[in-house]
């Protein structure tokens, strides 16, 4: 089989014209496990989404460029090109929301995924209902915003443009990191509990434990160059606060 045939075989179109869900938000699923792609396809279609699928990294990149999805669900372990590499390539040219699927739940793996440009991640095995909730959440965060500009110290956040500056220099954040910073800047000097952050940033009842907040705070601090004394301060046993 030729390379081109293999690449074609690795991609599959899951949104046919007869699909009653066609016309809803467009989700591209990149995963080499047929059972997972099929389960996601059926479950998301029933909830009004249009779904395309690809079974390898390069095929997924090609399909993303062709169909321009609203959200990408991306497995970390892929043939040809691994999911983190796919994520980095996508993020170099697009701000499409990316949800990583991974069987690994170590903090270091989560940070690596976030630093690669992912907006969220989901640990296998998972329910399609939870995935659908996360897809809706990232789509909500991409809706038009009001035009407020928030400032605190050398931080500037332009909410209409979704731009962040540190001492006048632009900082690139994932959608989730941005939403976390926006929450902090709307509540300056206020101590926010982990539960309040989960509700304010995730927008639904997150079924996992709240250490996901610690992972995102750590990633946000790194991108802001936040070294002691920190802008985002830890209040032990409670949560976090943004201070000048």
| Residue 12 clears pLDDT 80, i.e. is over it | no
Higher per-residue pLDDT: 15 or 47? 47
> For 26-66, what is each residue's pLDDT tens digit?
999 999 999 999 999 999 999 999 999 999 999 999 999 99
What is the distance, to the nearest Å, from the Cα of residue 197 to the centroid of all Cα atoms in its chain? 16
Q: State residue 233's pLDDT score.
A: 93
Contact yes or no for 81/59 (Cβ under 8 A): no
- Is the predicted pLDDT of residue 5 greater than 60, yes or no? no
Average pLDDT, the chain: 84
Domains of the chain plus CATH, in order, are 3-141 (3.40.50.2300), 149-242 (1.10.10.10)
- As a whole number of angstroms, the distance between CA 108 and CA 146 comes to 35
CA atoms of 197 and 97, how far apart (whole Å): 20
Let me know: does 101 contact 84? Beta carbons within 8 Å.
Answer: no
Give the least confident one: 11-20, 95-104, 160-169: 11-20
Q: What is the pLDDT of residues 93-144, one digit of tens each?
A: 888 999 999 888 787 887 888 888 888 889 888 999 999 999 988 887 766 5
The verdict on whether omega for the bond into residue 125 sits within 30 degrees of 0, i.e. cis, is: yes
pLDDT of residue 206: 57
């Amino acid at each position: 089989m030729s390379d081109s045939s293999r690449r074609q075989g690795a991609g599959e179109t899951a949104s046919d014209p007869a699909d009653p869900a066609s016309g809803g938000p467009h989700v591209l699923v990149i995963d080499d496990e047929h059972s997972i792609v099929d389960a996601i396809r059926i479950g998301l279609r029933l909830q009004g989404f249009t779904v395309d699928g690809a079974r390898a990294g390069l095929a997924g990149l090609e399909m993303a460029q062709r169909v321009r999805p609203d959200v990408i669900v991306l497995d970390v372990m892929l043939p040809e090109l691994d999911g983190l590499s796919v994520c980095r390539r996508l993020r170099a040219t697009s701000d499409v929301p990316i949800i990583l699927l991974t069987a690994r739940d170590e903090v270091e793996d989560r940070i690596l995924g976030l630093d690669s440009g992912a907006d969220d991640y989901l640990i296998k095995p998972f329910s399609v209902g939870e995935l659908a909730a996360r897809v809706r959440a990232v789509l909500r965060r991409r809706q038009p915003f009001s035009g407020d500009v928030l400032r605190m110290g050398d931080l500037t956040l332009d909410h209409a443009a979704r731009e962040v500056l540190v001492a006048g220099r632009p900082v690139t954040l994932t959608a989730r990191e941005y939403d976390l910073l926006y929450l902090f800047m709307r509540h300056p000097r206020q101590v926010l509990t982990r539960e309040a952050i989960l509700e304010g940033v995730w927008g639904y009842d997150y079924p996992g434990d709240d250490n996901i907040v610690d992972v995102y705070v750590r990633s946000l601090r790194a991108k802001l160059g936040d070294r002691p004394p920190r802008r985002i301060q830890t209040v032990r046993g409670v949560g976090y606060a943004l201070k000048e």
